[in-house]
């Protein structure tokens, strides 16, 4: 469609519609689904939290996903460039695109630096499970403490371990992004995603025999509203767009590689559903193992890296099961990390005109360096995690909702929706109402809460 701004002939595109679905769901399905969702569900008490999370996916996640795809598909540039192209008519346009663009590029940069460290732990545990590297004599728990940087007395050699695995993981990510959208990202995600599903189904079959599955189903799907706290509700809201890779331009960037004739209105739903199914299945598997051993669900962030490895060792076929689980985790993290790096690289390529090869190595190298600092300094790791997931992503999401709902020209908005394959019917109208009135309000609530304002204004709600 030649009237699209910036739709240059040389721009890369997805090879097929399925390729886009694999890449976008690859971005969405990540550590957020297999590491974070189970542990926060455990901490916030199960069923009722899951129900709120599902509602948030529908009311915040999906509308934001469409907004990002529309902006990217119509803008046909990196996150900042697309927003700049589509807001040129507005007085606030330049300020908006600069702010949103910085959040996107900065978000990709900062998130990937610690994301890669966590993914590195998974690579480490895979290597341990395959007996490629020796485990610390005290067992996996000690290894995890060292990896997390808990153990300040750890010898310097032990501190190198997480740096080493983080380096391996960053190289894996760079090598894919360097090859480009079609030959790199799409080719790899088209293999990783089906494999991920097969592994997850196999693990589910396994826990059906080892026990705990019934308890796990009840925990995840039987809501007990007494356990639902305000904090849990807001956590569910925040997580709903982290898990769908929203609020930092990943879906804008991926949407910008869509061809004119791709119809992706349905695909947006498919990605959200796949993401949710993976989170729920991962939760089922993990809690089945936990309950089969008579343990509690609320183990916290160590659930997957600390609790599970110990339990696997004691189970029948423990070694192949542990290997399968960590391969699953690595595949999920890998395809997400690729999208994080792509947001940053697309900016360098589209907005700064630097070649893909050079951008990927230089920016990937800089992210690696920050990751090295994270791997050895636990406080820095926590700060970056908090800064990005608590503040930058919700602010980014809010800006994108305002942009899509209020600032975009009606013609661009309509054309964007039609270009995604949607009709200008009920669906488009429902989306517009939600993105204008529901999503921004919900996001504002999360933000105020995160900033502590809500807690101070309404102390009774938080039991303070
Ligand atoms: N969605 C990814 C996950 O669940 C994380 C992510 C966030 C990826 C933002 C890209 C952008 O792990």
Q: How far is the CA of 27 from the centre of ligand 1 (A)?
A: 6
Please report the DSSP string for 21-72 in residue order.
HHHHHHHHSSHIIIIIHHHHHHHTTSHHHHHHHHHHIIIIIHHHHHHHHHHH
CB 313 within 8 A of CB 307: no
Beta strands in 213-336 (DSSP E): none
In whole angstroms, what is the distance from residue 413 CA to residue 431 CA?
Answer: 11
Q: How far is CA 435 from CA 22, 33, 406, 430, in A?
A: 25, 24, 9, 9
Cα 403 from chain centroid? 22
Q: What's the gap between Cα 52 and its chain centre?
A: 18
Task: Show pLDDT as tens, one digit a residue, over the chain (464 residues).
Answer: 333 334 455 688 999 889 999 999 999 999 999 999 999 999 998 999 999 999 999 888 999 999 999 899 889 999 999 999 999 998 888 888 899 999 999 999 999 999 999 999 999 889 988 888 776 544 445 555 555 555 444 444 556 788 899 999 999 999 999 999 999 999 999 999 999 999 999 999 999 999 899 999 999 999 999 999 888 888 888 888 889 999 999 999 999 998 866 666 788 889 999 999 999 999 999 999 999 999 988 888 888 888 888 888 888 999 999 999 999 999 999 999 999 999 999 999 998 999 999 999 999 999 999 999 888 777 777 788 778 887 888 899 999 999 999 999 988 888 777 766 666 677 888 889 999 999 999 888 878 877 777 677 777 766 64
Q: pTM above 0.75?
A: yes
Check: CB of residue 216 under 8 Å from CB of residue 288: yes
Alpha carbon of 306 to those of 31, 299, 303, 331: distances in Å? 15, 9, 6, 20
User: Which residues form ligand 1's pocket by a CB distance below 6 Å?
Assistant: 27-28, 30-33, 242-243, 245, 248, 250, 336, 339-340
318-346 and 17-28 helices, crossing angle to 10°: 110
Q: Which of 26, 336, 396 is the best mutation target for the ligand 1 pocket, counting ligand atoms within 8 Å of the beta carbon and taking the most? A: 336
Q: Hey, whose CA ends up nearest to atom 7 of ligand 1?
A: 245
Residue of the CA atom closest to atom 6 of ligand 1: 245
Classify residue 409 as left (phi > 0), alpha (psi -120 to 50) or beta: beta
Residue 174 tokens, joined? 């760079």
């Amino acid at each position: 469609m030649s009237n699209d701004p910036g739709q240059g002939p040389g721009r890369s595109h997805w090879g097929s519609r399925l390729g886009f679905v694999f890449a976008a769901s690859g971005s969405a399905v990540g550590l957020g689904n297999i590491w974070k969702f189970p542990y926060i569900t455990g901490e916030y008490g199960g069923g009722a939290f899951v129900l709120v999370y599902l509602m948030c996916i529908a009311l915040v996640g999906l509308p934001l996903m469409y907004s990002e795809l529309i902006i990217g598909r119509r803008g046909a540039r990196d996150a900042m460039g697309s927003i700049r192209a589509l807001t040129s008519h507005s007085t606030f346009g330049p300020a908006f695109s600069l702010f949103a663009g910085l959040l996107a590029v900065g978000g990709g940069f900062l998130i990937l630096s610690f994301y890669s460290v966590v993914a590195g732990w998974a690579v480490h545990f895979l290597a341990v499970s395959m007996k490629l590297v020796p485990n610390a004599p005290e067992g996996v728990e000690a290894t995890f403490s060292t990896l997390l940087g808990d153990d300040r007395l750890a010898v310097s050699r032990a501190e190198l371990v997480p740096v080493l695995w983080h380096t391996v993981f960053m190289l894996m990510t760079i090598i894919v992004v360097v090859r480009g959208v079609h030959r790199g990202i799409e080719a790899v995600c088209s293999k990783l995603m089906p494999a991920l599903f097969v592994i997850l189904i196999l693990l589910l079959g396994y826990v059906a025999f080892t026990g705990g599955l019934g308890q796990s189903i009840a925990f995840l799907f039987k809501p007990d509203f007494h356990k639902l706290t305000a904090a849990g509700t807001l956590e569910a809201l925040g997580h709903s767009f982290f898990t769908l890779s929203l609020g930092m331009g990943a879906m804008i960037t991926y949407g910008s590689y869509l061809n004119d004739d791709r119809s992706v209105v349905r695909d947006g739903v498919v990605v959200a559903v796949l993401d949710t199914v993976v989170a729920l299945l991962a939760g089922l598997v993990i809690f089945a193992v936990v309950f089969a051993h008579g343990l509690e669900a609320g183990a916290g962030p160590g659930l997957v890296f600390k609790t599970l490895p110990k339990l696997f060792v004691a189970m029948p076929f423990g070694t192949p099961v542990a290997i399968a689980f960590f391969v699953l985790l690595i595949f999920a993290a890998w395809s997400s990390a690729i999208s994080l790096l792509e947001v940053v690289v697309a900016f360098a390529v589209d907005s700064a005109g630097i070649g893909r090869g050079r951008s990927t190595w230089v920016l990937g190298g800089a992210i690696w360096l920050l990751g090295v600092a994270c791997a050895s300094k636990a406080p820095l790791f926590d700060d970056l995690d908090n800064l990005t997931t608590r503040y930058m992503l919700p602010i980014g999401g809010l800006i994108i909702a305002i942009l899509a709902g209020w600032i975009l020209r009606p013609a661009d908005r309509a054309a964007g929706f039609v270009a995604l394959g949607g009709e200008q019917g009920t669906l488009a109208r429902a989306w517009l109402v939600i993105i204008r009135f529901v999503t921004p309000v919900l996001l504002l609530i999360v933000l105020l809460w995160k900033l502590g304002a809500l807690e101070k204004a309404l102390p009774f709600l938080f039991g303070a």
